[in-house]
Amino acid sequence: MALFPAESWIPISPIAFLIAISIPLLVTIVHRIYIHPLRHIPGPRLAAVSEFYGFYYNYIKEGGYSKRFQYLHEKYDSPVIRISPNHVHVNSPEFFEEVFRIGSKYAKDPSFYKHFGGLDSMTDAEKFRTYRTHIASLYSSRSADALVPRLLTELRLISKRLERMVGTDDVVNVQKMFRTLSVNMVLQLIFPQDVNLFEFDKYHPFLKALDIIMTKTWLVLTYPLFGIILSAIPGLSYAKFRESCEVFYKYCEGWANDAQLIHNTREKPVRDSHMTRYQDIDPMNHQKVKAVPHPLEDIFNFIAGGSDTTAYTASCAIHYLLTSPEVLAKLQAELDESAPFIRVELDHKRIQNLTYLNAVVKEALRLSSPVPGCLPRIVPNGGARVGSIYVPAGTIASVSLLSIHQNATLFPQPQKFSPERWLGEGGKRLEKWNVAFSRGPRQCIGTNIAYLELHVCLAYLFSQFEFALSGNPKNKLEWVDRFIATNVEDVKVRVVKNRWI
């Protein structure tokens, strides 16, 4: 006897099936548009209904959602717009100050940050505080000082290569050059042993893998399960994503195993490092460090966040300088006056105190906005008010760093590269809006390292060389948002002259 006799089955027609799945969908749509607590917030109807609207611009349209926010604010004539069913974007410097101040009650959105892993995924304030405190000194100004000899070694290697290219038609991909340099510097902080990816004749497989991984950022953040399914299908580009993840983590695991071997043999490490601090944590003692992420999660976040942002900004700075001859002339005049502590014996502290160079770095960070998109936070109990608009508690709210950097009230002619805006009393007033590394207790932990690299690299290279952009210098820099901004085309230059000869 059959367990389920055929005659007991009730056939379901395709129409009935469609109705069955359509009803919950229609109920959801009606609720989100007409009943949801954010129904009064203006914005695209599709954004109110589904996450797919943002996914379309972020993934299918290559990271364009953060660029679209300003247009939407203007279209709906509102400082608050609805960018997904329970997520609003707020175009307000005052709201930014409230959200990112020390002691803010706006917690990181767990549904977004859980995908990052490591330090970035810690939404519990106390767990975050104890873990960050444990590793913070690795990224202090003193730690940055200790990196200078390695940075100078890298720059001298680059310099020798560039000297051979003076006056030739050879093209330098400065994007890849800075990418390799900045990853080397991050690896110096993460591992107790030396790791070097600098190979001019070929781009390291580790970096190629990271490039491919970053192209799928929004798929992983928005529809992670869908990404896993697609990556398992051979022949699709998503399979290449899976292979790149395997390559990336194979290298990381190898370096981590080498670090563990040093630890196990009680051999004195070359230097203090992130891995050393991780190994020193007592897993049975949760009083000092209340949560310990897997080290490979931190490795990925620190490499992506600590290298791509710096390399992107440095490359953009070169483009801005080479398309702004008056600015470049002022910078090189300051560098020429400072030659003794750049060319003869590099003094990074004096370099970082150069007035005009400092303004150039700040303006490059503002205009490039290396992390341009949403840093979502949860509106606390009591809700929030932006002008006349009430944002209820539990809403996910973002103020993109790009919207601050492109605010025409704070920065007149925001699309113009103008380091002068950071000089004098006006520059001092603007200082609090220098937010490329965010602000408050969640500010980027590697800020000191990034500033060191940007100041020293730009000073050293523009002190020694004259460059010209490869291709049409009138072409505007185009970028896409992969959580970290990425240029559509790498910045490339020719070396015109060695100014030290």
Is residue 71 a part of any domain in this protein? no
In the chain, the number of structural domains is 1
Is residue 5 predicted with pLDDT exceeding 60? Answer: no
Cα separation of 486 and 436, whole Å?
Answer: 15
Is residue 19 predicted with pLDDT exceeding 80? Answer: no
Give the mean pLDDT of 388-416.
97
Angle between the N-to-C axes of helices 447-464 and 355-368, in degrees from 0 to 180, rounded to the nearest 10: 120
Question: What is the model's pLDDT at position 430?
Answer: 96
Look-up of token digits 């069913």: 85
More confident residue, 228 or 372: 372
Nearest Cα to Cα of residue 492 among 167, 171, 177, 200:
171
Is residue 459 predicted with pLDDT exceeding 50? Answer: yes
Is residue 372 a part of any domain in this protein? yes
User: pLDDT above 70 covers what percent of the chain?
Assistant: 93
Is residue 207 predicted with pLDDT exceeding 90? Answer: yes
> What DSSP designation does 433 have?
G
Question: What is the model's pLDDT at position 475?
Answer: 79
Rounded to whole angstroms, what are the CA distances from 402 to 67, 93, 125, 225, 418?
Answer: 8, 11, 26, 29, 17
Give the mean pLDDT of 158-181.
95
Find the domain containing 256 and state its range.
86-498
Q: Which two tokens stand for residue 242?
A: 């899976």
Question: What is the model's pLDDT at position 304?
Answer: 87
Cα separation of 253 and 296, whole Å?
Answer: 8
Residue range 97-124, pLDDT digits in tens: 999 999 999 999 999 998 888 888 888 8
Contact indicator for 274, 138 with CB cutoff of 8 Å:
yes
DSSP 3-state assignment of 53?
A: helix
Predicted confidence band of residue 237 (pLDDT cuts 50, 70, 90): low
Rounded to whole angstroms, what are the CA distances from 148 to 145, 308, 421, 452, 457?
Answer: 6, 20, 29, 8, 11
Question: What is the model's pLDDT at position 4?
Answer: 45
Question: What is the model's pLDDT at position 3?
Answer: 46
Is residue 13 predicted with pLDDT exceeding 80? Answer: no
Question: What is the model's pLDDT at position 1?
Answer: 44
Is residue 2 predicted with pLDDT exceeding 60? Answer: no
Question: What is the model's pLDDT at position 232?
Answer: 64
479-482 vs 484-487, strand pairing mode: antiparallel
Give the mean pLDDT of 325-345.
95
Question: What is the model's pLDDT at position 236?
Answer: 63
Question: What is the model's pLDDT at position 266?
Answer: 74
Is residue 262 predicted with pLDDT exceeding 60? Answer: yes
Cα separation of 300 and 274, whole Å?
Answer: 12
The residues that bridge with 322 in the sheet, in sequence order, are none
Contact indicator for 485, 479 with CB cutoff of 8 Å:
yes
Is residue 199 predicted with pLDDT exceeding 90? Answer: no
Number of Cβ atoms within 10 Å of the Cβ of 353: 12
More confident residue, 236 or 466: 466
The alpha carbon of residue 30 and the mean position of all alpha carbons in its chain are separated, in whole angstroms, by 36
Is residue 107 a part of any domain in this protein? yes
Q: Which two tokens stand for residue 66?
A: 């953060």
Helix (H) or strand (E) holding 481: strand 479-482
Instruction: Tell me what percent of the chain is helix, strand and coil, each rounded to the nearest 5.
Output: 55, 10, 35
Give the mean pLDDT of 35-47.
97
The CATH number covering residue 237 comes to: 1.10.630.10
Name the range with the highest mean pLDDT among 7-11, 177-181, 296-300. 177-181
Residue range 346-391, pLDDT digits in tens: 999 999 999 999 999 999 999 999 999 999 999 999 999 999 999 9
Cα separation of 453 and 469, whole Å?
Answer: 22
User: pLDDT above 90 covers what percent of the chain?
Assistant: 68
Average pLDDT, the chain: 90
Give the mean pLDDT of 157-170.
95
Amino acid at the residue 161: R
Is residue 179 predicted with pLDDT exceeding 50? Answer: yes
